[in-house]
Structure 1
Amino acid sequence: MALYQEWADQIKSYNRNIKLTFLANILTQIGLGIFMVIYNFYIRELGFNELVNGKVISMTFLSTALVLIPAGVMSDRASRKKLMLFGAFSTGIILFTRSMVESQELLILFSFGTGLASAFIQVSIIPWLAENSQPEQRVHIFSIHFAAMTAANVVGSLLGGILTDVFSLFLPELESIRFTLVAGSALFLAALLPIFRLKEVRIENQTDRKFMDFKRGIPHKASLKIIILFAVAQLMIGFGAGLVIPYLNLYFADRFMASNSLIGLVISLGQGATAAAMIIGPMVVRRLGEVKAIVVLQMLSLPFLLLTAYTQHFWLAALGFLFRQALMNAGNPIQMSLMMSKVDDSMKGLANSVNQMVFNLGWAIMGPVSTGIVLKYGSYWGYAAVFTITAGIYLVGSTYFFFVFKAMDKTKSAISATKTA
């Protein structure tokens, strides 16, 4: 009851901009959730092998990585609302187009376009939430943001699997998948409505002080150093995630011959467990501090990742997936809050863009590696190998994070203050 009251009080305290941003985030993530579950099957249904799937995923994250830094600079110097509008509209249109095209070249081209367009939302939303909140609110706000994102993906994953199976009762398999993807595109475009209603209030003369004359040296050196340190940690996690996360639906289909609906259910449950774990994140921070909370949550996920890698029983694999998903991702809002609290306001967009750029770069590089290993060693040993490599990378990344950032693990006051506010 106390936990419920804490969150209820938090949500009531948020301004209209934050609430509208949450709604826009939910709509985009439902649409993306449908795509995440179904698009791999669309490519397979067109007759292409897993290497094409790997190229499509790789190009999406590569293009995002390429544009995130310029988009982050634009977000800091221009209008975050306009960038989110542009990103939502262009991404929705490209997703719709991806539902129609069938040639390998166009599949890859529009996957590249998806990454470019979606970057403008990614780099703007976190700084936007930070600017529209107080420091003591941010751990809770980012927890709600990431939990809502994950919960929306639950809905999208369920809809993706169920709609495809329902449409397949009346339509050929390819057409049923296509109709589902179109529905996902429409939901993504619906996010334009709450974004239009946002009211942007820029700090007077804020732009004038941003990115000071480079002749005077690197601006905000302390912030830049923190950004780089966070980027190294995120790059390692991105390398590990890029090996397994884009192909979890194929893993369950190839190793266990699971149906679309069952895969959608399992992935949805994993996202639901993640949302729940994110909600209790502030409680963990109160006990351990931000840095230790992140590291402990990530370390606890590793045994479950290895369980998923080696089991031959579907429900054990699903159980391992659920706990790995929840524990590994529960630290994301805590990490984002920590980074936003340590970086100067004029560099928040850049910090967010660098953080996401290196993560996407990890996915872009490791996607083809993962599909190549699975094609070479098969559905059991191939997936076992990539999951094990991922566990090793996560271990190194978490250890690095602890030793580099443990000096920051001094303040629990923001969470405590929020509790008594």
Structure 2
Amino acid sequence: MRTLQRSLSMRNVRLFLIALALHGLSSAIYGLWLNLHLLDLGYPRGLMGALNALPSAIALGIGLPAGWWTDRIGRRPMLILGSLMMAIGTVGVGLGISPVWVGVGVGLIGAGYNLFFIAYAPFLAENASGAERTQLFALASAVLFWAGFVGEGIGSVLPDLFRAFSPLGPTIYAGPILFSALLDFLAALPLLGIREAPRRSQGNPTMGWPKQALWIPALPMAFPNLMLGIGAALSIPFLNVYFHERYRLDDSMLGVLFALTSAFTGLATLLAPRIARWIGRIATVALTQGLSIGFLVGMALTDQAALAALAMVLRGALMNMASPLYTEFCMEQVPAAGRAAVSGILNLTWEAGWMIGAALSGFLQQQYGLASMLLATAVFYGVGTLYQYLAFASRDRVEVAYAQRAVRQQVSC
């Protein structure tokens, strides 16, 4: 029975990683060209910022219900629904019929992304043994970044290809965005093959949740997500605009730069568990994120395109390489039956931060220039990173994080 269950879990993981890779390809292409697509449509920067904030606003409304329903109906249905919603929304954005329809599309993308990634962490936690879980979280993150590397490499040439052979939509970036929608549709196919054990009925799903036993550990863990979400949204969605306008990089060079960032981040992600064995997961998170802030400030202050590009690559790798360790740490602090609910709380605070940061970024760009958004990001990153270390490092002993016996006890809760 144990061998059969392990075989099923390995099959589920393989299918999920295929879907995740397709989403990584899609997200890389979509993220590379979305803001330039919006500017070519003639939208002002304020509206561009609002549209970047809209997915997070939608996620705030559905985050908690999505979490508790995922705990009750299973991870697979939410993963499939999220994939389809992202695909449909991306079609709306690519067609760009009007600001209203673009807004609807962006909202659907936000809702689908929220459903998919609320189910993401509990799914991984439940399909790996304690000894394998850290490696699986790191591998999944690496797959996402490597897919981003490929997607950004492909995306860098797509505008020219669609311009030459078959223009689609109202801008030269519409074709690549619609291609990313196709990848999201394809991502739903491997998810159909995932098999989950039937979930036991837990009565009325709206009664008794969220319980104090989940809120007490979740809220302190969620605060750094709020800070990091604000910081990330202030600048990360607009880095393509930053390099396009400040350093005059063309479309192909932008694609190469973002691809290199994803590639290095994917490699660095696999190193994070090894560092964590020496100093602990939370200490690793604090160390790598803290180092990334220095490169972020350097990227804002330098006038040299080459130095800014190097700083971006190193910043991206350092900032993201240890984030799976924090997610795994959070999942281990709560019972298995409440993991998706807590994942929903964590995602909710991230999305709240993203909504605030994306809306604020448009104002900063208009009033103080592009470099101001990077410096503001550094401040919020610093607050979130310092809090993570002070609040959780003492609770994350290396022997607890990696001893199989301890992990089995946590899983059996």
Do the two structures share a fold, i.e. TM-score over 0.5? yes
Choose which of 236, 239, 249 in structure 2 pairs with 1:245.
Answer: 236
Residue equivalent to 2:352: 361
Residue 142 of structure 2 is aligned to residue 167 of structure 1: no
Q: Cα–Cα, structure 1 residues 143 and 45, in superposed 2: closer, same or farther, change >3 Å?
A: same
Residue equivalent to 1:24: 19
**Matched AA of 1:389:** A
List runs of 5+ in structure 2 lacking aligned partners: 1-5, 406-413
Residue 330 of structure 2 is aligned to residue 339 of structure 1: yes
Residue 396 of structure 2 is aligned to residue 400 of structure 1: no
Give the distance between the partners of 2:352 and 2:212, measured in 1 at CA: 25
8 Å Cα contact 2:92-2:104 kept in structure 1: no
TM-score, length basis structure 2: 0.91
SS in 2 for 1:102: coil
Give the distance between the partners of 1:195 and 1:338, measured in 2 at CA: 26
Give the distance between the partners of 1:97 and 1:166, measured in 2 at CA: 21
Residue equivalent to 1:219: 211
Choose which of 100, 111, 114 in structure 1 pairs with 2:109.
Answer: 114
SS in 1 for 2:22: helix
8 Å Cα contact 1:148-1:275 kept in structure 2: yes
TM-score, length basis structure 1: 0.89
Q: Cα–Cα, structure 1 residues 276 and 37, in superposed 2: closer, same or farther, change >3 Å?
A: same
Give the distance between the partners of 1:286 and 1:61, measured in 2 at CA: 34
8 Å Cα contact 1:220-1:344 kept in structure 2: no
Residue equivalent to 2:279: 288
Residue equivalent to 2:320: 329
8 Å Cα contact 1:136-1:414 kept in structure 2: no
- The within-5 A match list for 1:81-96 is 81-96=76-91
Choose which of 388, 395, 398 in structure 1 pairs with 2:375.
Answer: 388
Residue equivalent to 2:97: 102
Residue equivalent to 1:128: 123
Give the distance between the partners of 1:219 and 1:68, measured in 2 at CA: 16
Q: Give me the identity figure in percent.
A: 25
CA apart distance, 1:246: 0.7
Give the distance between the partners of 2:371 and 2:93, measured in 1 at CA: 31
What do the CA deviations read for 1:206-241 (whole angstroms, capped 9, x no partner)? x43897963xx97362x4321111111110111111
List runs of 5+ in structure 1 lacking aligned partners: 1-10
Residue 63 of structure 2 is aligned to residue 68 of structure 1: yes
For the aligned residue pairs, the C-alpha RMSD in angstroms reads 2.3
8 Å Cα contact 2:10-2:127 kept in structure 1: yes
8 Å Cα contact 2:41-2:171 kept in structure 1: no
CA apart distance, 1:324: 0.8
Residue equivalent to 2:362: 371
8 Å Cα contact 2:37-2:171 kept in structure 1: no
8 Å Cα contact 1:282-1:415 kept in structure 2: no
8 Å Cα contact 1:285-1:415 kept in structure 2: no
Give the distance between the partners of 1:324 and 1:211, measured in 2 at CA: 42
Q: Cα–Cα, structure 1 residues 313 and 172, in superposed 2: closer, same or farther, change >3 Å?
A: farther
Residue equivalent to 1:176: 172
Q: Cα–Cα, structure 1 residues 123 and 218, in superposed 2: closer, same or farther, change >3 Å?
A: closer
SS in 1 for 2:397: coil
CA apart distance, 1:192: 1.4
Give the distance between the partners of 2:189 and 2:241, measured in 1 at CA: 34
Residue equivalent to 2:310: 319
Give the distance between the partners of 1:172 and 1:59, measured in 2 at CA: 28
Give the distance between the partners of 2:22 and 2:166, measured in 1 at CA: 27
CA apart distance, 1:320: 0.7
Residue equivalent to 1:198: 194
What do the CA deviations read for 1:291-336 (whole angstroms, capped 9, x no partner)? 1111111111111001111111111111111111111111111001
**Matched AA of 2:237:** P
8 Å Cα contact 2:38-2:48 kept in structure 1: yes
SS in 2 for 1:191: helix
CA apart distance, 1:374: 1.2
Choose which of 200, 204, 208 in structure 1 pairs with 2:202.
Answer: 208
SS in 2 for 1:190: helix
CA apart distance, 1:89: 1.6
Residue equivalent to 1:7: none
What do the CA deviations read for 1:84-127 (whole angstroms, capped 9, x no partner)? 11111222122112211331222222211221222211111211
8 Å Cα contact 1:212-1:219 kept in structure 2: no
**Matched AA of 1:124:** A
Residue equivalent to 1:275: 266
Give the distance between the partners of 1:12 and 1:385, measured in 2 at CA: 51
SS in 1 for 2:43: coil
Q: Cα–Cα, structure 1 residues 89 and 316, in superposed 2: closer, same or farther, change >3 Å?
A: same
Give the distance between the partners of 2:191 and 2:243, measured in 1 at CA: 36
Give the distance between the partners of 2:74 and 2:400, measured in 1 at CA: 32
8 Å Cα contact 1:270-1:323 kept in structure 2: yes
Q: Cα–Cα, structure 1 residues 412 and 249, in superposed 2: closer, same or farther, change >3 Å?
A: farther
Give the distance between the partners of 2:332 and 2:203, measured in 1 at CA: 19
